[in-house]
């Protein structure tokens, strides 16, 4: 009778331990360094070796930015975090081992209006590129090359223009 009981307990605890990994974390606004409330966290199990993944789980952070997802099986997961007014953040592969809790502090960025012109030096005013130079931030090293660059000083935010049109004196 005693042996039976011990085996039963091991068996039960084995089930509980072997299948639980958890994801626990907080969502932060990268600019304000404040929590982002009610972000959506979606975790997708990755298919591997011919086996399909079991699917996905979604949860929402609370009003202080905290979230937790339990009862995850061992394996590789991708994580996508979305919140209204922020760029989505993706973690392509995070590996969960059994009986572990992974802590995640995710910082979300507010989209920058200059991002879509980052690789396109076409001036929005004159629609030409021939008087457009890259904007340089920070202290220049050595001589200033003001023909080919626009030096904008050290004041940077998380959303700054990338190009300067000398014809229109426009930053974009």
The interface region with Zn ion, picked from 7-15, 17-25, 66-74, 125-133 by CB under 5 A, is 125-133
Q: Which ranges in the chain belong to alpha helices (H)?
A: 2-19
* Alpha-carbon span 43 to 153, nearest angstrom: 42
Binding Zn ion (rule: CB under 5 A), the pick from 125, 145, 146, 160 is 125
By C-alpha distance, which of 33, 46, 52, 48 is closest to 94?
46
Measured CA to CA, the distance from residue 106 to residue 30 in angstroms comes to 9
Single residue of 88, 126, 133, 152 touching Zn ion by CB under 5 A = 126
| Stretch of 35-43, 82-90, 99-107, 122-130 contacting Zn ion, by CB under 5 A | 122-130
User: Using the rule CB under 5 A, is 165 a contact of Zn ion?
Assistant: yes
Report the residue number whose CB is nearest to Zn ion: 123
With binding defined as CB under 5 A, does residue 168 bind Zn ion? yes
3-state secondary structure of 88: coil
Would you say 39 or 165 has its CB closer to Zn ion?
A: 165
CB 44 within 8 A of CB 56: yes
* 135 binds Zn ion, rule: CB under 5 A: no
Residue among 62 and 168 whose Cβ is closer to Zn ion = 168
Q: Which of 37, 159, 74 is nearest to 110 (CA)?
A: 159
Strand 100-108 with 21-29, pairing: parallel
- Interacting span for Zn ion (CB under 5 A) from 104-112, 136-144, 147-155, 160-168: 160-168
Sign of the dihedral defined by the CA atoms of residues 102, 105, 154, 151, in that order: positive
Q: Which is nearer to Zn ion, 40 or 126 (CB)?
A: 126
- Choose the binding region for Zn ion from 24-32, 66-74, 79-87, 157-165 (rule: CB under 5 A): 157-165
Give me 74's structure tokens.
């061992």
Q: Which parts of this chain interact with Zn ion (CB under 5 A)?
A: 123, 125-126, 165, 167-168
């Amino acid at each position: 009778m005693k042996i039976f009981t011990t085996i039963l307990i091991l068996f039960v605890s084995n089930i509980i331990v072997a299948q639980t990994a958890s994801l626990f974390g907080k969502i932060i606004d990268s600019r304000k360094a404040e929590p982002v409330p009610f972000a959506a966290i979606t975790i997708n199990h990755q298919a591997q070796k011919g086996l399909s993944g079991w699917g996905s789980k979604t949860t929402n952070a609370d009003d202080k930015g905290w979230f937790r997802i339990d009862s995850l099986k061992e394996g590789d997961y991708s994580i996508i975090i979305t919140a209204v007014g922020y760029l989505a953040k993706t973690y392509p592969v995070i590996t969960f081992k059994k009986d572990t809790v992974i802590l995640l502090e995710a910082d979300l960025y507010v989209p920058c209006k200059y991002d879509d012109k980052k690789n396109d030096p076409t001036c929005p005013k004159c629609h030409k590129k021939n008087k457009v130079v890259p904007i340089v931030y920070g202290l220049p090293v050595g001589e200033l090359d003001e023909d080919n660059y626009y030096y904008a000083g050290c004041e940077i935010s998380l959303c700054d223009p990338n190009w300067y049109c000398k014809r229109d004196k426009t930053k974009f």
